[in-house]
Amino acid sequence: MTAGRQARPFDFLVIGAGFSGAVISERLASIGQRVLLVEKRNHIGGNAYDYADASGIQVHRYGPHIFHTNSKEVYTYLSRFTRWRPYEHRVLTSVDGQLLPIPINLDTINKLYGTHYDRFELEAFLERVAEPRAECRTSEDVVVSKVGRELYRKFFQNYTRKQWGLDPSELDASVLARVPVRTNRDDRYFTDRYQVMPLHGYTRLFENMLDHPNIKIMLNTDLADIADLIPVREVVYTGPVDAWFDYRFGPLPYRSLRFEFETHEVERVQPAAVINYPNEYPWTRITEFKWLTGQHNRYTTTVKEYPEAQGDPYYPVPRPEANVLYRRYQELADATPGVHFVGRLATYRYYNMDQCIAQALSVFGRIAAGLGAPVDGVASAVALGVPS
């Protein structure tokens, strides 16, 4: 350090360089706050981290990340840091020896049963097989009330048991409500208004987002390594909420995955970006990255996802017992002054990327208001819940 020149201390310590931590850091830096961003992994990007593998294919280390949102604010904000590649995600699922479109649509049913239903005939069919429910409390209720038990068993029950180690009847309705049922021929996985991938990948997007003189990044550093060493005014924490409180009420359940990457010397290995395997094999799905990136290369790389009970915490588990336990941690979090809990792990929500970004912008809006700082249009629009 230059003699006589005292560095200004950090205003904020942000823990975790995934979307939640990166967005908060970028926004705080933009209003003149000095931010120390600490990440225990050896890279930024959190679970959205991507990189070029040995064959040059851009792969996602923690499983396929497809960007989709209905929020104009989130899309506009991210567009400051990346150009986009239009991309509509399509998924096939392996059922009864065929590869069929998922979410279930008109073609799924006609191929499965060899029928020629039109949309109205399919609606009548689904009405015949559906099991009406007064209230859809569980993920089983959500599906059987729409498509009946046979389709539930073929497409959802075993996939869910594999993915979560739980039967759909043990999971909140919200989990299987993520996958709609359609009576038209729309075979896209998502119907959001914005469906795009960052042109040069997520990691480049994060690099651009964090390239600011007010942000200092420390990789390979766990919160525990620096907690009492560096004075800061406020903290933003994006790791698992139970870890922050030393598991005082016991560990929250998180579901993990093991990823198995394979490179093949062939242009393409499968007929869609993702193939789901509900009923065979120990893995749930195989992703071929080239579909997501649009790359041309004589090699192609795939990743298989094997669900696991132990390992990095990837998914909060939406079910009543876990929600009750989380509420106890949330009360502690709410009563911890100077610490903001943000993101999928710290607020224990099965959030997509865009939801994490919206939440982070919203928290930033509150912090900035507390500091009396003027915020620009994007953050204030989200903070106020302005519809897109």
Binding site for ligand UDP (CB under 6 A): 93, 102, 155-156, 159-160, 163, 175-176, 178-179, 276, 278
Residue 20 site contact among ligand FAD, ligand UDP, none (CB < 5 to 8 Å, cut-off depends on kind): ligand FAD
223 binds ligand FAD (CB under 6 A): yes
Residue 15: CB partners within 8 Å, gap ≥ 6?
21, 38, 39, 223, 235, 236, 237, 238, 239
- The DSSP secondary-structure symbol of 44 reads S
- Of 3-62, which residues contact ligand FAD (CB under 6 A)? 15-21, 38-41, 46-48, 62
The tokens for 156 are 């959802």
User: Using CA atoms, how far apart are residues 222 and 94, in angstroms rounded to an integer?
Assistant: 41
Residue 233: CB partners within 8 Å, gap ≥ 6?
10, 11, 12, 338
Residue 356 site contact among ligand FAD, ligand UDP, none (CB < 5 to 8 Å, cut-off depends on kind): ligand FAD
Whichever of 18 and 365 has its CB closer to ligand UDP, that residue is 18
Whichever of 119 and 178 has its CB closer to ligand UDP, that residue is 178
User: Using CA atoms, how far apart are residues 58 and 294, in angstroms rounded to an integer?
Assistant: 10
Residue 38 site contact among ligand UDP, ligand FAD, none (CB < 5 to 8 Å, cut-off depends on kind): ligand FAD
195 binds ligand FAD (CB under 6 A): no
Label residues 229-241 b or e (16+ Cβ within 10 Å = b): eeebebbbbbbbb
Q: Please, what is the minimum distance in Å from the beta carbon of residue 153 to ligand UDP?
A: 11
- CA angle 226–230–232, rounded 5-degree value: 120
DSSP string of 304-320, one letter each residue: EEEEESSSS--EE--SH
Residue 47 site contact among ligand FAD, ligand UDP, none (CB < 5 to 8 Å, cut-off depends on kind): ligand FAD
Residue 209: CB partners within 8 Å, gap ≥ 6?
22, 23, 25, 26, 81
Residue 165 site contact among ligand FAD, ligand UDP, none (CB < 5 to 8 Å, cut-off depends on kind): none
Residue 354: CB partners within 8 Å, gap ≥ 6?
67, 68, 69, 71, 74
Residue 41 site contact among ligand FAD, ligand UDP, none (CB < 5 to 8 Å, cut-off depends on kind): ligand FAD
198 binds ligand FAD (CB under 6 A): no
Q: Please, what is the minimum distance in Å from the beta carbon of residue 143 to ligand UDP?
A: 8
Instruction: Please give the residue ranges that form the binding site for ligand FAD (CB under 6 A).
Output: 15-21, 38-41, 46-48, 62-66, 222-223, 238-239, 257, 314, 343-345, 351-354, 356
